[in-house]
C-alpha cells in the first residue's frame, strides 16, 4: 500500500521536488496587494485593509463581528481573558491539540482539564464531557465548580481537529446546561460548516488562524468570531492595548495587549480571501482522492461524516503504532512530508491537568494518526 500511496501523492503534486505537508499558494494578486499596502505606508496596526479583511471574514462566517489579531494563539488568549478566565480557574479542553491551546489557557493563569475525544471526528467527546461534569463538578447559582479542587470551571475549549467539525451542537448544549462559557478553537476550520452554520459561531467566541500553513494565510494572524456587540467592542479595545481614544494623550483603561493584526498582513489576507472558494473546492477534491484510495485498503480518515468540512489536513488512521512509524519513515525517504498528530498535551510536563484521568481515545488516535500532504496544488 505504501508504494501506491507514494504514487498517488506524486501524481497530485507533479513537479514539486519536496512535497510539503501544507504550504501557501500565492500569485501576482498577493504581490500587488502587499506592494500597494507598502506604498500607502500603512503597514502596522492602523489601516483600511484591517477592517475590510474583518468584514470579509465576518460575512463569510455569518458571525456578526470579527476581531483580527497577530496570530491564533493571541486570539484564543484574548478571548479567554475577555470573558474573565483568570488565576486558579479551570478550562476544559482536549489533549489532542496543538500546544497553543494549552499555552493560551496557562497565559490567563488558569489550568487545563482534558476531556477525551470521540471518533471519527478526533475532537472533544460530548459524552466524556458530560461524564466529567456529572461526576466531578457541581453547579450552583450559575457557577460550575470542580468539587475536589474548588476551582471554577471558567470555560470549555473544544478544537475542530484537522478542520473536521467537532460535535459542537451537543457540546454547546452541555455547556449551556452547566453554565460554562464556550470558546471554540476553530483555528484550522475556516470553511467548515455544521448544518449550514460555520465552525466558531456556536459559542461566545470562536478563533481562526491564518498562519502560513492554513487554508488561506495572512502570513501570521488570527481572528475572533463573536456575535455579541459589547464583547466584540471589548475584544477590540483589549487588542489595541486598551487605549482610550484621545487626540493627544496615551491613556489606557486596563491591562491590554498589543495583539492587533498589521494592515500589511490584512492586505495579503484580502487577496487570499478572494481565492477561498477555489481553495475549498480543491481541498475537497484532494480529500475525495485520499478517501477513495484508503477505502480500497480498509483504512479510515479522521472525518466528520455529518458535516461540511474544509478537509484542511487529511489524516489517515493506521492499524498500529509500528505501521504509523513505518509510513512516516517511508514517505520521508521520498521527500514527502507527513507528520503524526500533535504530541498529547497531557503528556507534557508544563501542561499537566489538575484532574488526571484516562484518555484512551486520545492515546489511541495519537498512536495511529498520520497527516498527509494536503496543500492546494500549484495549478489551481
DSSP letters, 210-221, are: -BTTSSS--BS-
The model carries a pTM of 0.96
The pLDDT, as a whole number, for residue 379 is 73
Bigger pLDDT: 16 vs 112: 112
CB neighbour list of residue 33: distance below 8 Å, 6 or more residues apart: 267, 268, 270, 271
378 pLDDT above the threshold of 90: no
Mean pLDDT of 246-254: 94
Mean pLDDT of 183-196: 97
The pLDDT, as a whole number, for residue 99 is 97
Which cell numbers in the block locate residue 116? 477525551
Q: What is the largest CA-CA distance in the chain?
A: 68
Q: Could you tell me if 80 and 155 are in contact, meaning their C-beta atoms sit under 8 angstroms apart?
A: yes
Percentage of the chain lying above the pLDDT 70 cut = 100
C-alpha triplet 281, 287, 293: angle, nearest 5°: 140
- pLDDT tens sequence across 75-121: 999 999 999 999 999 999 999 999 999 999 999 999 999 999 999 99
The β-bridge relationship of strands 197-198 and 193-194 is antiparallel
Bigger pLDDT: 335 vs 356: 335
The pLDDT, as a whole number, for residue 380 is 65
Domains, the chain, with CATH or none: 2-25+276-371 (3.90.1150.10), 28-273 (3.40.640.10)
C-alpha triplet 323, 214, 297: angle, nearest 5°: 30
For 154, phi then psi, to 5°, come to -90, -20
- pLDDT tens sequence across 270-287: 999 999 999 999 999 999
The pLDDT, as a whole number, for residue 356 is 85
Q: For all residues of the chain together, what is the average pLDDT?
A: 97
Mean pLDDT of 247-256: 94
Q: CA 46, CA 44: separation in Å to the nearest integer?
A: 6
pLDDT band at 215 (very low <50, low <70, confident <90, very high): very high
Mean pLDDT of 166-175: 98
Mean pLDDT of 354-359: 92
Amino acid at each position: 500500500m505504501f508504494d501506491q500511496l507514494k504514487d498517488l501523492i506524486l501524481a497530485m503534486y507533479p513537479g514539486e521536488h519536496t512535497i510539503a505537508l501544507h504550504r501557501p499558494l500565492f500569485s501576482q494578486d498577493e504581490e500587488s496587494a502587499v506592494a500597494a499596502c507598502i506604498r500607502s505606508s500603512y503597514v502596522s496596526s492602523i489601516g483600511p485593509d484591517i477592517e475590510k479583511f474583518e468584514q470579509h471574514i465576518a460575512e463569510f462566517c455569518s458571525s456578526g463581528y470579527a476581531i483580527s489579531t497577530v496570530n491564533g494563539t493571541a486570539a484564543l488568549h484574548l478571548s479567554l481573558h475577555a470573558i474573565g478566565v483568570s488565576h486558579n480557574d479551570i478550562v476544559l479542553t482536549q489533549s489532542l491539540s496543538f500546544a497553543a491551546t494549552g499555552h493560551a489557557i496557562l497565559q490567563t493563569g488558569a489550568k487545563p482539564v482534558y476531556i477525551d475525544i470521540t471518533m471519527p471526528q478526533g475532537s472533544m467527546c460530548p459524552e466524556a464531557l458530560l461524564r466529567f461534569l456529572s461526576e466531578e463538578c457541581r453547579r450552583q447559582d450559575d457557577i460550575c465548580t470542580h468539587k475536589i479542587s474548588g476551582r471554577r470551571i471558567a470555560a470549555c475549549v473544544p478544537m475542530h481537529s484537522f478542520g473536521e467539525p467537532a460535535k459542537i451542537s451537543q457540546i454547546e448544549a452541555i455547556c449551556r446546561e452547566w453554565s460554562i462559557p464556550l470558546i471554540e478553537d476553530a483555528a484550522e476550520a475556516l470553511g467548515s460548516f455544521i448544518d449550514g452554520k460555520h465552525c466558531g459561531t456556536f459559542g461566545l467566541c470562536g478563533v481562526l488562524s491564518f498562519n502560513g500553513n492554513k487554508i488561506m494565510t495572512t502570513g501570521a494572524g488570527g481572528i475572533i468570531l463573536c456575535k455579541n456587540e459589547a464583547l466584540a467592542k471589548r475584544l477590540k479595545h483589549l487588542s489595541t492595548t486598551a487605549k482610550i481614544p484621545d487626540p493627544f494623550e496615551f491613556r489606557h483603561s486596563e491591562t491590554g495587549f498589543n495583539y492587533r493584526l498589521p494592515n500589511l498582513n490584512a492586505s495579503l489576507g484580502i487577496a487570499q480571501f478572494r481565492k477561498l472558494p477555489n481553495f475549498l473546492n480543491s481541498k475537497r477534491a484532494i480529500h475525495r482522492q485520499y478517501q477513495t484510495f484508503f477505502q480500497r485498503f480498509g483504512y479510515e480518515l479522521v472525518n466528520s461524516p455529518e458535516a461540511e468540512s474544509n478537509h484542511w489536513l487529511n489524516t489517515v488512521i493506521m492499524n498500529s503504532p509500528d505501521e504509523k512509524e513505518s509510513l512516516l519513515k517511508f514517505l520521508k525517504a521520498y521527500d514527502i512530508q507527513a507528520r503524526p498528530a500533535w504530541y498529547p498535551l497531557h503528556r507534557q510536563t508544563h501542561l499537566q491537568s489538575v484532574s488526571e484521568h484516562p484518555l484512551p481515545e486520545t492515546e489511541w488516535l495519537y498512536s495511529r494518526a498520520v497527516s498527509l500532504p494536503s496543500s492546494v496544488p500549484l495549478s489551481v
